[in-house]
Amino acid sequence: MKKRENNLISNIVKSKKAQVWVETVIYTLIVLAIIGAALTFIRPKIREIQDKAVIEKSIELLQELDLKIQSAGAGISGDKRVVKVYISKGILEFNSEENLIQFKLDESNYFASDPGINVEYGDLILLTEKKSNLAYITLTSNYSKIYDLTYNENNQIKTFSKSSTPYKLAISNLGNDEFGRIKINLELIN
């Protein structure tokens, strides 16, 4: 009889230990599911906040470039200004064929404006386009009326992408073109 009682007690103890392990596993799975669900909703919001910060920094960058271009343009032929350009996300494009400087951020969770509507920030134009549930944001500085932009003294399109180190750009006044616009050259320096 004693042996049966010991087996019964042993089985009860074992089943309680097993129950504790089963409960621990179930509670762990529940917590992980809750964390996963929370991340599903929180992660897009975090990306949206990050993209908003990128757009704000890019507006500041384009305004700083504009000040350097105006400063070089106000000087005499040969004047040169240097600016450091930080790009953490997106691309910066110098389109000297159309005399535009653009910052583009694709697949953003942040809608900087209503889709399809140009919004002016001083001399900058912000355009948000919607594709599926994501925003494609373009910031544009148009210099075609005052300046003739070149990159390495050529009419070309030069794109700068995300980099862990800043780009160092020289902005130079090359005098006037045949239409009376000031020729501004941009070039990458080391």
Residue 44 domain-assigned (yes or no) = no
- Do 56 and 103 meet the contact criterion of CB atoms below 8 Å apart? no
Instruction: Give φ, ψ of 173 to 5 degrees.
Output: -90, 120
Residue 110 domain-assigned (yes or no) = yes
What radius of gyration, in Å, describes the C-alpha atoms of the chain? 30
Total structural domains in the chain?
1
> In this predicted model, what pLDDT tens digit does every residue of 88-139 receive, in sequence order?
999 999 999 999 999 999 999 899 999 999 999 888 999 999 998 899 999 9
Residue 24 domain-assigned (yes or no) = no
Q: Looking at the predicted structure, is the pLDDT value of residue 5 above 70?
A: no
Residue 41 domain-assigned (yes or no) = no
Residue 4 domain-assigned (yes or no) = no
Residue 30 domain-assigned (yes or no) = no
Mean model confidence pLDDT for the chain:
89
Tell me, what amino acid is at 25? V
Query: Would you say the pTM of this structure is higher than 0.95?
Result: no
Domain of 106? Answer: 50-189
Residue percentage of the chain with pLDDT more than 70: 91
Residue percentage of the chain with pLDDT more than 90: 69
3-state helix, strand, coil in the chain (%, to 5): 40, 35, 25
Residue 11 domain-assigned (yes or no) = no
Residue 77 domain-assigned (yes or no) = yes
